[in-house]
Each structure stands twice: as C-alpha cells, then as structure tokens.
Amino acid sequence: MEATGLNGQLVLLDNKIVIKRKGAWGFLTQGLKGDKEIYIKQISSIQFKPGGSITNGFIQFAFSGGDETKGGLFDAVNDENSIMFKKKQNGDFLKIKELIEEKREQISTPSIIQVSTTSDVPDQIKKLADLRDSGILTEEEFSAKKKQLLGI
C-alpha cells in the first residue's frame, strides 16, 4: 500500500516501510536524501495528526536509534521520519497507519505453537503403551511414535 503526502510518499511492504521524497516539496524540505527504509519491528511509536481545514496533518515514526523531532507539525516539515499531508489525504494515511500497527502487533505477539515438553513425553509414551496393549496400535506404530517423541 502507498500513501502520497505533500513532502513524500509512504510505502508499506511486508516487513518495512519506505519513505520516498519525490517531488518539489520533498526536495525543498529534505534535499537530495534518498529513500528511507524502516523495518516494522524497529518502529517504537507512530505519531499521527490528521490534517484540518487550516493546518496540514503528519505521520511520524520513532524507532530505536532514530532522530525524530518532537516539535509537532512545525518540526515535522523538516523531519526525515515524517510525511505531511492535506485533509483530503487523511484517510490514506490513517489506513496505512492502522496496517502498520496491525503488523507491529503480529510481530510482538508470538504465535502459539504446541510443543511437547520433556515432562509430557513420558505421559504420552505411557498412553501409547496403553493403546498398544489394548490392540489399537501395533508394536511397529508404537515404536515409531516413541522414537519420534524421544527425538531418536
């Protein structure tokens, strides 16, 4: 997804954002700086101020080792981690902000993977032995599963 603002473009990729500085306003505020890539896992906060009828809005990214300004809209003009935008662009930037926050949440919330702990293994082998003894599993099936549980 991409959102175009007054002094740059914000591109959301799978694992990072790219701040591009195409256009005259981008050149005036940022000079000849190239594209800036920030990995989503590095973003520590996102400041978002929607554009109004009189003032422009901005989105600003803070990350470990970053040098973002703290002065709001007036400093955001020159901040390399910010993009300014007009009121009519609020929706595009709000949507991309929400998508970035979702990706940040996915990164910070580890998926739940069921892993057999060593304390579970003896219980599982005992249950398998009961199934073998009752004729539900063959000796070969029991041995194969036991080796798998023991990591042999």
| Residue 114 structure tokens | 């069921």
Alpha-carbon distance 39 to 63, whole Å? 9
Least confident range from 31-45, 64-78, 101-115: namely 64-78
Into which CATH architecture does domain 2-108 fall?
Roll (2.30)
Question: pLDDT value at position 109?
Answer: 66
Domain ranges, ordered by start, for the chain: 2-108, 120-150
d(CA 71, CA 69): 6
Confidence grade of residue 150 (pLDDT, cut at 50, 70, 90): confident
CA–CA separation, 40 vs 118, rounded Å?
A: 35
Residues 83 and 79: their CA atoms lie apart, in Å, by: 8
Instruction: Please give the angle made by the CA atoms of 67, 70 and 72, to the nearest 5 degrees.
Output: 130
Which token pair is 78?
Answer: 């020159």
pLDDT value for 120: 82
Q: Which of 89, 63, 69 is nearest to 29 (CA)?
A: 69
> Tens digit of pLDDT for each residue in 16-31?
999 998 754 444 444 4
